């Protein structure tokens, strides 16, 4: 994939120079460098990923080893020289529709929760069930075509996993244990969409949830459905408006709010650990901590983790108003809705303010990939 011609066949790229990227070396390259080196160390070590992506090419491995040799305390001038010596920037061109890249944003919710089900905390967040199988290339068959996970039956055969509606109806049984309970279905749903959460428990402790698998069913954007149906206008769509609509329309079985959630058949399972205030960030699909405004989610079927990108978009990232976002970022995560080479989800950090801003991002701009020179030869 990363070997020159194959990459060109898969992705429409326009070769550029660093001089074509306005402000690239006016960015705080030191802030980029620390999370980038984490990815470099994982690439060199061949570290396991939470969600497997395209395998890095030989050139990326060489470039990663060279970055590690410079160390964390190197100078901005050396970082700049390193990037020029080892990478060629290319503008990523979408193959269809708008000729610009499309950006959304995500965050790690901080949500009140309970270890046990109560009158207030009623919606479970589940650990990975013991019959869930994440499919690898070659495991697909006619029955499982189009699915990324399967359910292993008692005789060893694989069938499509349960849908969100079936899981809500109790079909998991004892296969998966609840890790904690949150207040309602839309709160749990948004934790699924974001892929992680910090739960503030009623006993004063906190848990960090990390993605541990999904049911492999297709992902559907409920926000897009509300817009298409005319329930919420495109210009009015925010995370707060979406959650308010679901709550106003009922979340009990058979009510419109719960029925909307069931249109997204995808369902996420988690692992949990005591929250660590000193941890650098939530863990992304590459198995590494995410850094606000430096980590992005990319299409793992197109790009390997650890590649640097240059993002050029006007979006509400530092305030509620669109502001220029020109930054070096690293592909360290993925998401079911992140499809195509010119598509990225920007990680905005933790908590309500990050969620408020992230929920407003549906913006077009330019996206450049920094490709290792040796992988283009």
Give the three-class secondary structure for 139: coil
The answer to whether 75 and 37 are in contact (CB under 8 A) is: no
Q: Are strands 178-182 and 12-15 parallel, antiparallel or unpaired?
A: unpaired
pLDDT at 1: 38
Distance, CA of 41 to chain centre: 20
Where does 71-184 have alpha helices with state H?
76-86, 164-168
pLDDT at 8: 46
Q: What is the pLDDT of residues 177-221, one digit of tens each?
A: 999 999 999 999 999 999 999 999 988 899 999 999 999 999 999
**Burial of 268 by CB count in 10 Å (0-12 exposed, 13-18 middle, 19+ buried)?**
buried
> Which residues lie below 8 Å from residue 92, measured CB to CB, with a gap of 6+?
11, 12, 13, 101, 341, 342, 367, 368, 369
CA angle 267, 241, 364 (to 5 degrees): 80
> In the predicted model, what is the mean pLDDT of residues 240-255?
96
pLDDT at 138: 58
Q: What is the pLDDT of residues 268-318, one digit of tens each?
A: 999 999 998 888 889 999 999 999 999 999 999 999 999 999 999 999 999
The answer to whether 250 and 234 are in contact (CB under 8 A) is: no
Phi-psi region of 156 (alpha: psi -120 to 50; beta: other; left: phi over 0): left
Domains of the chain: 5-105+300-312+322-351+364-375 (2.40.40.10), 121-274 (2.40.240.50)
Identify the bridge partners of residue 309 per DSSP, sorted by sequence position: 329, 369
Q: What is the pLDDT of residues 312-337, one digit of tens each?
A: 999 999 998 999 999 999 999 999 88
Give the three-class secondary structure for 204: coil
Q: Give the integer Cα–Cα distance in Å for 63 and 44.
A: 9
Q: Residue 195 is encoded by which pair of tokens? A: 């892929």
Q: Give the integer Cα–Cα distance in Å for 89 and 19.
A: 10
How many angstroms separate the Cα of 256 from the Cα of each of 170, 247, 252, 263, 283?
19, 9, 9, 11, 34
pLDDT at 141: 61
Q: Residue 219 is encoded by which pair of tokens? A: 């992902």
Give the three-class secondary structure for 82: helix
pTM of structure: 0.88
Q: What is the pLDDT of residues 18-74, one digit of tens each?
A: 999 988 888 999 999 999 999 999 999 999 999 999 999 999 999 999 999 999 999
pLDDT at 2: 40
């Amino acid at each position: 994939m990363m070997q020159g011609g194959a990459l060109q066949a898969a992705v429409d790229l326009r070769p550029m120079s660093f001089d074509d990227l306005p402000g690239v070396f006016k960015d705080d390259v030191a802030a980029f460098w620390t999370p980038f080196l984490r990815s470099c160390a994982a690439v060199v070590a061949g570290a396991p990923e939470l969600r497997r992506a395209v395998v890095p090419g030989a050139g990326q491995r060489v470039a990663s080893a060279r970055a590690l040799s410079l160390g964390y305390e190197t100078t901005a001038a050396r970082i700049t020289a390193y990037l020029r010596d080892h990478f060629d920037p290319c503008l990523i061109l979408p193959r269809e529709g708008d000729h610009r890249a499309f950006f959304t944003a995500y965050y790690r919710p901080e949500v009140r929760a309970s270890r046990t089900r109560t009158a207030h905390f009623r919606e479970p967040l589940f650990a990975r069930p013991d019959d869930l199988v994440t499919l690898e290339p070659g495991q697909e068959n006619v029955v499982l075509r189009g699915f990324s996970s399967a359910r292993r039956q008692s005789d060893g055969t694989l069938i499509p996993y349960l849908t969100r509606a079936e899981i809500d109806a109790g079909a998991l049984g004892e296969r998966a244990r609840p890790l904690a309970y949150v207040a309602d279905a839309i709160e749990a749903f948004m934790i699924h969409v974001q892929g992680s959460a910090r739960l503030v428990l009623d006993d004063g402790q906190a848990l960090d949830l990390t993605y541990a698998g999904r049911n492999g069913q297709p992902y559907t954007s409920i926000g897009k459905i509300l817009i298409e149906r005319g329930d919420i206008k495109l210009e009015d769509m925010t995370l707060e408006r979406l959650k308010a609509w679901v709550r106003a329309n009922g979340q009990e079985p058979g009510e419109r709010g719960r029925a909307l959630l069931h249109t997204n058949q995808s369902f996420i399972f988690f692992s949990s650990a005591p929250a660590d205030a000193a941890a650098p960030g939530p863990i992304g699909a590459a198995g590494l901590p995410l850094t606000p405004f430096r980590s992005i989610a990319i299409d793992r079927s197109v790009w390997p983790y650890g590649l640097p990108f240059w993002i050029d978009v006007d979006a509400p990232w530092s305030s509620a108003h669109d502001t220029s976002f020109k930054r070096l970022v690293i592909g360290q995560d993925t998401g079911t809705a992140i499809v195509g080479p010119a598509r990225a989800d920007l990680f905005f950090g933790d908590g309500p303010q990050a969620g408020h801003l992230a929920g407003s991002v549906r913006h077009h701009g330019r996206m450049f990939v920094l490709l290792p020179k040796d992988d283009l030869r």
